Each structure stands twice: as C-alpha cells, then as structure tokens.
Amino acid sequence: MSDQQKHRVVYVSHPASGLARSNFPLVCHVAGSRIVRSLPYYIPEDVKLYEIKTSRGVFTRPRKEVQMPLAYAWKQRVHSGTRVRYPLLRDDWSPDNPNPAKRGSSGYSRISWDRALDVVVGQINRIREKYGSMEPVLVQADGHGQSGYLQSLHFWGHYLFDMIHERLGWGWWTQQVRNPDSWEGYYWGAKHVWGFDSTLGEPPQDAVWDDVLEHAEMVIFSGNDPEATGLGMSGSIALEMPKWLKRAGIKIVAISPDLNYSAAVQADKWIPLKPNTDSALYLALAHTWIVEGLYDKDYVRTHTVGFEEFKRHVMGKDDGIAKTPAWAAKITGVPSHTIRALAREWASKKTSVSVYFGGPKVRGSLSHLVTRLEAYVLAMQGIGSPGRQFLRTGAPSFYKNALAQVPRFPEVDKHGIAMNPMIEYAIGKGPKSPVFIPRTLATEAILSPSIQWRGTSAALAKTEDQFNRYRFPPNDDHPGIRMVWNENGSQPGSWGYGFKWLEALQSSKIEFVLGVHPWFENDIPYSDLILPAQTHFEHQDLIAVQRSDLLAMFYQEQAIEPVGESKSDFEIHRMIGQRLGLDEVFPPADEWLRSAYEGTLASTKLGITWEEFKKKKSIVYDCPTWDEWVEIKKEHGFGPHDGGLHGFWSEAGGLETPSGKIEFVSSRIAALDPENAERPPLAKWIAHSELQGSRKSQEYPLSVVSNHPRFRFHVQGDDIDWIKEIGKVRGPDGYMYEPCWIHPSDADVRDISDGDVIMVHNERGAVLVGAVVTERIIPGAVSIDHGAKIDLVQLKGKLIDRGGCINLITPSPLEKYGVGEEIKIPEMTVSGFLAEAVKIDVSEIVASTGVGHGSTVSG
C-alpha cells in the first residue's frame, strides 16, 4: 500500500511566519490523531514559473519548496508536555485577591469552558463598573503566531475590544501597537533620508532582480542571513536568491560581527566588525571616496541635498575629527587597509547592498544612525543606477509600487490572495484606539507611568508621525493599565528587557492577566487564566501564501481532532463575543473564509467557487513569461533590465522627503526636532553607553550580538526535542543550553572551553548559555540568538534564566531618558549591548521551586 492510501494527506500552513500571511504549506500525512509525516510542497508542473532572462543566464526557482527545519518538526509541539489542554485558572487568584506577586510561581487547576468564560466576562464587566471604560485593558495581540489566515491569528483581542467599543459603547481599550521590530533602524532612521514610508524605510523592490542579475558586480550582505532569517520567513526562495548571485558571477561580501550561516557558505569575503559600529565604517568609506574622488558627484548634485555639510563632517571640519579609515579601524575592528580596499571595490564595481530583516545592525542601540549613514553611502554611489540597488534576499513583506521583485502579474499581486483586514491592528497606519502604547513601552506603561514619547511606532505611519507627542496614561486621573490580555506570549523573549516585563506582570496594579495560547511558556505562566488555543493542525483555515516569490492559496483541512478542549484563537474570541452579545460581528469561521476567498481572482476571474476550492485545495498563480513581463514593465516605465530605484535615478525626485530628494541633512528633523542630540539632522557617529569604550564597558566588556534564530522562529519551537538536538549545547548536567559563540581569545582569558556552561550577565540580570568557542565571531563580542525559552532558576541566591533568553537583559528605551522625560525615540534594542561572560559550576544551579516555569498544573 502506498503512503497516499494509508494516510490522509492534508495541507497545513507553514507554522511560524504569522500575521495572517503564510508561506507554502507542509504536505502532512495523517493517520488518526497521528501526524505521520510533514513533507515539502512541490509546485505542480502545469503552473508557469517565471524566468528572469539576462545576459548572464536565465534565473528561476525550483518547484520543490522547502521550509525551515522547525516547520517539519512543528508536529512535535502538538502533543508536547507544554501544551495547554484545558482552561486553567491560577490557584491563588480570586477576583478580590489576585495575589499578583505570585504570578509565575503558582499552580493551576483545570476549569470548564463555561466557568472560564464567566471569569473573562466577569473581569471585563468588573473593569467597566470600576473604571468606567475598557481603557485599563492592555491588549497584546500582534505576535507572529502560527500562520493561519483566520483561526490562529493574534489580532482578535483588538477586534473584540473594538467591537465592544463600537457596539456596546463601553469605551476604548489600550491598544498595544507593534513597533517596526525587525526594521527598527530603517524606520526611525533611513526614512528621514529617503522616505519609503510604505516599505518601512527600506527602498521598494520592484523588479529589482532583473537589474541586479543583469548589472551588479558585487553585493554586500550587511548582516544579512538568508539561511536563517530568510528561510524562516520566505522559505527556500531565500536560499535560491544568493545562488542566483553566485551563478551570475557576482561577488558576495559579508559585513557582520559573526560569520553567519549564509556568509559561511556563500560569501567570497567576510569582513568582521564590532557590533553596532557600522556607522563608523560607513563614515570611513565616505572619507576614502571624498579623498580619492571616487563617488558619483553628478548624482550627489542632482539627487541629494545637504551633502556639503556631510562632507564637512566626514573631513572633520565641524568637529576636528577626520573620519579616516584609521579612525574607524579603532572603533570597528576592521583594519584600515581593508576599509580602503572595500571603498575602492565598492566604487569601481557596481555594488548593491542586501539585507533581510534583522541582522545585528538594524536592531541595536541607535541603529537609526547606522541606517541613515548606510543610505548616505548608497547615495554617494548613485543608488538606483544599474547594478546599484538595495536588495532584499527573500520576499518583501511590504510593497510600495505595482511591480513585484520577480516577474508576476500585477493583477495577481493586487487581488490574487486574501489579506485579512485584521492585520491593520498590528501593521497599520496608526492605532485604532486613541488610547495606545508602543510595544516597546508596554513595561513602562505599567511600572512607571506617566510616560511621554514621540511617534505611534505603527508600522505604516507616515514619517511625520515620529514627531507627534503622545502620553500614557492619557490624563492624570486615569487608572492606567489594570488588566492584560495576552495573545502573544512573546514579550519577554522577542522584545527587550524581558525581566522587567515579568516584573510588570507581577505588579499589584494588575488585577487580571488573561493568556490565550497553545503552550505553557514564556510569559503565559504569568497569567491568571489561560485559555487553550490550538495548533493549526486542529482546525480548517485558508493559507494565504504571500511570504514567497509566488502567490498562492491553499485550503487547510482539519488534520487531527483538537488536543484536550483547545479552541482556535478565533473561536475563543468568538465565544467571548457571544457571551457579550456580539454574535453578529463574529460569524462562523467558514463564512469569514468564504467571503475572503470570494474577493480573490481565483473566484472572480478563474470562477472557482468556494466549494470547489475546498475540494481542489490549492491555487498557485501562473507567472508571466519574460516577454509578457517586459511588456508589463514598459507600462510602468521600466526597461527590461530596470528595477529597484531606477525611476528615482532617472528622474532625480519624487521621494517622500520634504525635498523629494535624498536628504543628507533631514529638513524634517531640522524643522521639527532640531535639538535631539540622539538623532541630529545630520547623522553622525555617536558614542554611547552600550558601546565598547564606554564607562560601562569596563565592567561589561563584551558586546552581545543577537540575531533571529536559525532553528527557532523568535521564541517559538524551543520545546521541540528534535530542534534542541541540533540547535543546543548539551551541558555537563545533560541540560540543553542555548549556544553562545565566543572567540577563542575571549574564552581563553575567562578560562572558558567549548561546551562549558557560562553566565552572560549585565546590570539587568543574567542568563546561562553553552559556550561554542569559535572564530566565527569577532573578538570582543558574543553571539546568542534571541528568544530562547525562559527557564528561571536560582544561582547563588539570584534568580537567573537557565534557558538562555538573552532578551531578558537587553536595554530599555527608558534607560536613555530620565524619569518623566520625553522618550524621543521609543526604539527597540535587542542586539549590540554590553555584558560579561563567566564560567559557572552547574552543580550550583538550583531549579527554583515555584518560579514561573516550574509551575504545576493539576486536573
């Protein structure tokens, strides 16, 4: 008997890119309640793939679509020990005595759904009666979650409270606004140089590969790691794109503190530099170009403003410090001869810069300066001219213009797949509720109100919004946050200064914490009530493939019976809505899915009905032929091998900056926030406390680099044994520790050997990790991926994390500002900060009874 006959074969969404969008699904073989196999998807032979035709060859993608290892291992999470199977009520919580300090250490008891809904609705009513509105409820519903269109979405809390406001008239809620996390530097920085609001400060990717593959001679991977972050978000196309570069004979130069997974196998040259010092490198490149006359002077004259002031700064005419390669060598650790060689290569070869989200550069302290300086050097070399582009190796998440990065029909881009409108709550132009808090300030909103800041931090907000003043609580008699609605379960592991967030959840101000989650992990064990959410194996859904180079839709059948009494995220909110009399705005799932589907080309153009689609289960849209693509491009003003910022290059205007040009000196900052020393009108190298050489670095001399994990997706998947086996360091005590890359010279002076358990610590706390002694990290730095699963223990009387969740000890935006001071840039810092590492004796670790993750569940 073949597999097909023995097993039911269902499409299940790629687990972890989330936010209502997905990648190609897994092909799962199911027998009863057992998920036997998860296999890659093959694009059917009758689907027309694109071909990028260039003088260096023809480029396309393979039909096999492989996802990150985590995706295939995800099935182990379905029945894992950490699964929340029933509604769980914290043993020492009661409405009158919430015992907040015990959050994280209490046991839980199983209760019925009926009682659970009573508790939730009871708490909503209590808040309304006591405080007069829903404003004391902080809704955290913007996590990546599992990638379903509807069922596993993390925005339902916002929708529910929006409807409570609109239909019941109970007032606004406090909306947590997701900051542009993986784009921080570009959002708060580069936007002031070149605009690009709708692509979060990174240049749009229209047909960019046609240009790069035809013209580029060198591509700089600036902290870019397609093998890790790219594969996680974009699937295997992220691995294919670097191979295109190689096949086209383009040199890849990786600049990063770590020899990351892509650089290790794809780069022709690795230039290690100290974390968070890219600004100094860029200034020294500019210096060499100015001294040797190696930049595009015509372009600078016609396409930019403010260059003379930048030039003065580079040459040290304003501050007496010439930004020479020798000056930068001391800061960056890159030899001056290498900086000059790079400068000459960059100038003489058509060079593009490539990133894909994170990377150490974009999410460090003051990373907005780095990205502005990056934009300056790109401008000096005429960005937009053939072969000189800004390139994302993977699918862009945000589109500006009509054209995709590779040949696709614009009509398919616009109407091919369903996009859940709920995404607006997390990735919109601004908060729906006038009462809101950026995600980076949620901790402060609880622990130290009142706070004031600038900018909503909404992903698609206009640049001007960064100068608007906001505050929380909105007025002085406001009760502040009293209840937390947590659908994410990711705050302490994906955002910064996580120990403080755990402290905030234990604050006596917080009367009720609701967790909605499939797993008992991260900050979910700090909830008073946990509602059991499902994995995407347990419900039907629509799979909207958007995080790929191709667009497609799949129908996800329910693969197995729900585990325990779990319900989908959608269903949980629907049940709560029904209790509140909001039935009308929560129609059943199939109705939502049908109407979403019926708005797409599959229905409107191809005439495939919803019922037919549910049987057929998949639609992968055809791509245009090269000739059709050339025609499409012509309509949009592009020649066959034009792409990226070609339009700006040929027209020298039309950007979203006040001048319409690239601004070395930001006229908007100069007009609206000129005195901000942290973000001056002209970006400069600014030494700060989280850099080596600062006073703090005497005690904490190591810089921590923290990338998107290779084997997790943010905090997700650390409970999977298969993943632990490949991704962790087994300690002498058998515990699987989070790996920490440390250079042999740094290990030596600390008496650290490969495999030792070490404590990485700073003034914010400590985490335990397993040493990987390697030359793949620059001396003076350590690399620990973000988001390991938290596991609090005692060591010498101190509460520390054995799980190695480095985000627990990253800086808070508030550290840079005094109490009560306005937070001018509520940026997130999760990489490029200081710490020290010391070897520890594992026999001294005391698994603390009753702390967070040792909690018991009875019933």
Partner 1 sequence: MTYLPLLCQHCANAPCIKACPEDAIKRRDDGLVWIDPEECTGCGLCEEACPYDVIYMNGELGIAQKCTGCAHRVDEGALPRCAEVCPHDAIVFGDEADSVFSEDEHGATLEVYHPEYQAEPRVYWKGLPKPWIAGTVVDPVSDEVISDVAITSVDLFEDGSVTALSDEFGDFWIRRMEKGRKYRLEIRKEGYEDFLAIVTTDGDQDLGNVCLKRTR
Cα–Cα distances in Å, from 855 out to 510, 515, 834, 848?
20, 15, 32, 10
Least CB distance from residue 17 to partner 1, whole Å? 16
Radius of gyration of the chain (CA): 26
DSSP 616-645: H-EEEPPPPPHHHHHHHHHHTT--TT--TT
Q: How far is the CB of 33 from partner 1 (least distance, A)?
A: 21
> Residue 334 and residue 272: Cα distance in Å, rounded?
7
Burial call 121-145: b when 16+ CB within 10 Å, e when fewer: eebbeebbeebebbbbbbbbbbbbb
Closest approach of partner 1 to the CB of residue 726, in Å: 11
- Report which of 211, 175, 180, 210 is spatially closest to residue 196, judged by C-alpha positions: 180
- State the minimum distance, in angstroms, from the CB of residue 219 to partner 1: 15
- The answer to whether 439 and 178 have CB atoms below 8 angstroms apart is yes
Nearer CB in complex with partner 1: 72/289: 72
Q: Which is nearer to partner 1, 267 or 530 (CB)?
A: 267
Within 10 Å of residue 290's Cβ, how many Cβ atoms? 17
CB 253, CB 238: distance < 8 Å: no
Q: How far is the CB of 146 from partner 1 (least distance, A)?
A: 20
Tell me whether residue 235 or residue 431 sits nearer to partner 1 (CB atom).
Answer: 235
Measured CA to CA, the distance from residue 93 to residue 106 in angstroms comes to 9
Pick between residue 87 and residue 709 the one whose CB is nearest to partner 1.
Answer: 709
CB 344 → partner 1: shortest distance, Å? Answer: 7
CA 744 to chain centre: 31
Tokens read off for 415: 């109407």
CB nearer to partner 1: pick between 67 and 494:
67
Cβ closest to partner 1, residue 35 vs residue 418? 35
Minimum CB distance to partner 1, residue 133 (Å):
51
Q: How far is the CB of 257 from partner 1 (least distance, A)?
A: 16
Specify the residue, 9 or 423, whose C-beta has the smaller distance to partner 1: 9
Smaller CB separation from partner 1, 330 or 337: 337
Separation CA 24–CA 28 (nearest Å): 12
CB atoms within 10 A of CB 575: 17
| Closer residue to partner 1 (CB): 230 or 826 | 230
Q: What is d(CA 363, CA 767) in angstroms, rounded to the nearest whole number?
A: 20
H runs (alpha helix) in 255-324 = 261-266, 278-292, 297-303, 307-314
Smaller CB distance to partner 1: residue 239 or 601? 239
Closer residue to partner 1 in complex, CB, 237/788: 237
Q: What is the DSSP string of 412-455?
A: HHHHSS---GGGGGTSSSS-SSSSEEEGGGHHHHHHS--EEEE-
- Least distance CB 334 / partner 1 (angstroms): 11
Q: How far is the CB of 202 from partner 1 (least distance, A)?
A: 25
**Residue with the two structure tokens 């870019």:** 224
Residue 314 near residue 287, CB atoms below 8 Å: yes
Q: Least CB distance from residue 535 to partner 1, whole Å? A: 20
Quote the CA–CA distance of 840 and 853 in Å, as a whole number: 22
Of 345 and 413, nearer to partner 1 (C-beta) is 345
Structural tokens at position 90: 């914290």
**Chain residues that interact with partner 1, rule: CB under 8 A:** 2-3, 39-40, 64, 66, 72, 231, 236, 239, 259, 264-265, 269, 326, 335-338, 340-342, 344-345, 776
- Strand-pairing partners, residue 766, are 761
Choice between 346 and 629, CB closer to partner 1: 346
- Expressed in percent and rounded to 5, the helix, strand and coil fractions of the chain are 35, 20, 45
Q: CB of 776: closest distance to partner 1 in angstroms?
A: 7
Phi, psi angle pair for 324, to nearest 5°: -75, 165
Task: Tell me which residue has tokens 């902290």.
Answer: 223
Minimal distance, residue 414 CB to partner 1, in Å:
30
